Amino acid sequence: MQVRVRALESALVAGGHVDPAALDALVETYETQVGPHLGARVVARAWLDEAYRERLLGGATAAIAELGIRGRQGEHMVALENTPTVHNLVVCTLCSCYPWSVLGLPPVWYKSAPYRSRAVSDPRGVLADFGVTLGSEVSVRVWDSTAEVRYLVVPMRPAGTDGWDEARLASLVTRDAMIGVGVPSGAQTPSRPGSRL
């Protein structure tokens, strides 16, 4: 895949269709200025600061902007909080609407037809494929992202993290947990073998 990407890039540059400096700036943006590390900061702040958590759940776009995070497809954000009885899962059934500013580029599986259809028809099966098995007491809510609204899942804070600072907590928060197909690293969840989408 990397060889193909480099070949395509070389052809576009050689043909005068792409400015290499502009391409470098775009890559730099998605490697450092947007991405799941920013969403992880949002989640960690919500875990530490109850007032911020309430603002995030009440108006995610403004609360995320408080941390200086803005950008493409980061408008009209809604935060969804996982609890011991509710697990949220995000999908875009029509295309691949996705909050780039807090999660970076969407993973290939997020855009795939199997994920988009099964997330709606068999959300527990999808979660199991990702290694997350929930008890019968936990309801799964599936949220369909659109051009008008995008979602960020606030996963449950792992046990044993009392006294941790924001940076250390953020290191536990994965992109998959903020989509709802995973849990923070270090969090315990029963799982069963399954193939990832």
User: Residue 52 is part of which domain span?
Assistant: 34-179
CA-closest candidate to residue 89, choices 61, 56, 127: 127
**97 tagged catalytic:** yes
**96 tagged catalytic:** yes
Instruction: Answer yes or no: are the C-beta atoms of 157 and 47 closer than 8 Å.
Output: yes
Residues 92 and 14 in one domain: no
Is the pTM here over 0.75, yes or no?
A: yes
Residues 54 and 15 in one domain: no
- Please name the residue that has the structure tokens 């903020």: 178
> Is residue 119 domain-resident?
yes
Query: For residue range 59-106, what is the model confidence (pLDDT) as tens digits?
Result: 999 999 999 987 655 578 999 999 999 999 999 998 878 888 899 888
Q: What is the CATH number of the domain that holds 148?
A: 3.90.330.10
Residues 27 and 73 in one domain: no
Q: Band the pLDDT of 57: cuts 50, 70, 90.
A: very high
Residues 175 and 138 in one domain: yes
> Is residue 99 domain-resident?
yes
At residue 17, the pLDDT reads 84
CA atoms of 120 and 125, how far apart (whole Å): 10
Active-site residue among 10, 95, 117, 139? 95
Secondary structure letter of residue 89 according to DSSP: E
Beta bridge partners of 38: none
50: tokens are: 């109850």
Residues 145 and 126 in one domain: yes
51: tokens are: 């007032």
CA angle centred on 171, ends 168 and 172, rounded to 5° = 105
CA-closest candidate to residue 72, choices 32, 100, 95: 100
Residues 95 and 170 in one domain: yes
Torsion angle, alpha carbons of 52, 74, 197, 81, to 10: 20
Mean pLDDT over 142-167 rounds to: 95
CA-closest candidate to residue 81, choices 154, 190, 2: 154
CA atoms of 61 and 44, how far apart (whole Å): 16
Write the single-letter amino acid at 191: S
